[in-house]
Amino acid sequence: MRQYSPLTVVLYLIGPALILISHVGSLLPFITGLSAGAVAWAVLWYVLRMLATTGIYHRLLTHKSYQAPKLLLWLGCVMASAAGQMGPSWWKAHHLAHHQHADQLHDPHSPSVPPQGINGVYWSQGGWLLSRQFFPTKLPADVENDAFLRRLDRLHFLPLVALGAVSYWLGGWEYLGAFFLSTTVLFHGVQTVNSLSHLVGEQPFQTDDTSRNNGFVAVLTLGEGWHNLHHTFPSSSRHGITLRADRVVYLPDPTYRFIKLLERVGLATRVKVPKERHLLARARDRAWPVPPVTAPVLPSTTSPSVAPKLGRP
């Protein structure tokens, strides 16, 4: 278990405190009402911060499903930390632990191990953040070795507080309420990947966990709800993929579209997507012969592929 300095403990604990404050602040619109401008403000910051969480924290920083300039990574991480869901080291540490121990004892937020039923839903939807699981056992070395990202990790709350201040400056209590509402819905939107996408949905691919493709979660999270695909091919930049009979079917995935846009303007390279024969080879209900898969498959320079995850690391 990693030992944290008292200062880091305090700085980290500011995260859940601000999320709790955000929940209470979401009641403000009942007093102030919400104009169309305030609703647009809330939606804008929901989408921008969700995209930074999915496209930068998750698919770039954690899984390296594509490559991007350092400046884009830094700016994206600042935007993602404005979501109020902690900094880059903390986020990556917990998410890697989730993949490594999915639905086992050391999974930080499984809805089925050890809690089950309604307790499991509460736990995976955010209850785990109010437990000792909140502190990662190990921080990722690559993020900790980046001085900017390490400082951002400890000062993760500054972008969120700054956004709250700008909201108040722009539209007083009404816009501050819109900001709190946006932040709270965003928080629960991200947590549905941990809860609903491990409880409800299709499992077209073989995995040794409960990950599922859930369309509702995919809408809330700009494509992250296609979680069964993601657990099968963690380094795929495209999550929106399923199987119908013996065919590969591509699903709406706004985060992948964002990554392709970055690629088109020269800001993303080596965008990894699994080959169809690898996808078919991992079908859960396979009734047709497929050629054997020889993993790993090294990505080419123009159209990288992704080797399937054949077991836990």
For Zn ion, give the closer residue by CB, 211 or 214.
Answer: 211
For Zn ion, give the closer residue by CB, 33 or 114.
Answer: 114
Smallest distance, Zn ion to C-beta of residue 237, A: 12
Q: What are the angstrom distances between the C-alpha of 60 and each of 32, 176, 215?
A: 39, 31, 22
For Zn ion, give the closer residue by CB, 153 or 224.
Answer: 224
Residues 208-227 binding Zn ion (CB under 5 A) are: 211
Smallest distance, Zn ion to C-beta of residue 211, A: 5
| Segment interacting with Zn ion (CB under 5 A) among 64-72, 75-83, 206-214, 300-308 | 206-214
For Zn ion, give the closer residue by CB, 154 or 212.
Answer: 212
| Rounded (5°) CA angle 189-249-284 | 85
Residue nearest to Zn ion (CB): 211
For Zn ion, give the closer residue by CB, 22 or 242.
Answer: 242
For Zn ion, give the closer residue by CB, 139 or 217.
Answer: 217
Smallest distance, Zn ion to C-beta of residue 62, A: 6
For Zn ion, give the closer residue by CB, 43 or 310.
Answer: 310
Six-digit token pair at 135? 């502190």
Smallest distance, Zn ion to C-beta of residue 98, A: 6
Alpha-carbon gap, residue 188 to 244, rounded angstroms: 30
| Segment interacting with Zn ion (CB under 5 A) among 76-84, 137-145, 205-213, 214-222 | 205-213
Alpha-carbon gap, residue 56 to 46, rounded angstroms: 15
| Segment interacting with Zn ion (CB under 5 A) among 2-10, 79-87, 203-211, 259-267 | 203-211
Smallest distance, Zn ion to C-beta of residue 20, A: 24
Smallest distance, Zn ion to C-beta of residue 209, A: 7
Smallest distance, Zn ion to C-beta of residue 59, A: 8
For Zn ion, give the closer residue by CB, 85 or 182.
Answer: 85
Smallest distance, Zn ion to C-beta of residue 72, A: 19
What is the x/- site pattern for Zn ion, positions 268-287, by CB under 5 A? --------------------
Number of residues that bind Zn ion (CB under 5 A): 1
Write out the residues near Zn ion by the rule CB under 5 A. 211
